[in-house]
């Protein structure tokens, strides 16, 4: 059995370094050998459970290769209350132990599910507040004439490049990684 350590950042420009360092400290403090640990790193939004490394983690859990999941913060698993609660309920029913390093909690059983539900609810509220603050800031900047934003019709990467890579046999996650864009952007480019 392995211990799964899951790290997630929202964009490719962000790094998992601080999450990984704190999880490694926890592993060291609990005398867990590196040979018993398997790492999963995602650079995708927490608003969806559709992430390549998360899918690999789920497969390893379903196959019985993982009995403990260690995360830096609970919102690394999900930013949506419903998804997160359903996920944790499923994991707890499978007998998984979920360790949240920075919040110093271990989730398993009914009490763990209740604590997780509260924490995931707070994560979703924070996501909504952040969006509201961003929109308020944009509105103020527009009124002052200082909002620049991206020019209409511009893209971070070339849509044609995504189509070329697809023709070469690359999967959407591989295309996103090679182009430095999100998976959602690749799907949009391929749909055009």
Catalytic residue ranges? 10
Which residue's entry shows tokens 């995602």? 42
CB atoms within 10 A of CB 153: 5
Q: Cα–Cα distances in Å, from 56 out to 46, 48, 59, 60, 145?
A: 16, 15, 5, 6, 46
Separation of alpha carbons 77 and 6, rounded Å: 8
How far CA 138 is from CA of 120, 146, 147, 167, in Å, comes to 27, 9, 7, 39
Q: CA angle, corner 80, sides to 39 and 182, nearest 5?
A: 60
């Amino acid at each position: 059995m392995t211990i799964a350590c899951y790290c997630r950042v929202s964009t490719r420009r962000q790094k998992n370094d601080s999450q990984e360092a704190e999880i490694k400290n926890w592993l060291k403090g609990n005398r867990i050998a590196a040979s018993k640990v398997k790492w999963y790193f995602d650079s995708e939004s927490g608003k969806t459970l559709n992430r390549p490394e998360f899918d690999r983690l789920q497969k390893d859990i379903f196959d019985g290769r993982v009995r403990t999941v260690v995360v830096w913060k609970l919102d690394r698993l999900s930013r949506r209350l419903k998804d997160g609660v359903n996920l944790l309920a499923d994991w707890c029913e499978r007998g998984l132990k979920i360790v949240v390093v920075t919040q110093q909690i271990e989730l398993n059983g009914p009490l763990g599910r209740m604590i997780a539900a509260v924490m995931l609810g707070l994560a979703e509220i924070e996501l909504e507040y952040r969006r509201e603050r961003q929109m308020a800031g944009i509105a103020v900047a527009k009124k002052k004439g200082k909002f620049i934003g991206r020019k209409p019709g511009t893209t971070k990467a070339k849509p044609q490049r995504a189509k070329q890579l697809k023709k070469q046999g690359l999967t959407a996650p591989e295309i996103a990684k090679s182009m430095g864009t999100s998976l959602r952007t690749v799907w949009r480019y391929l749909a055009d």
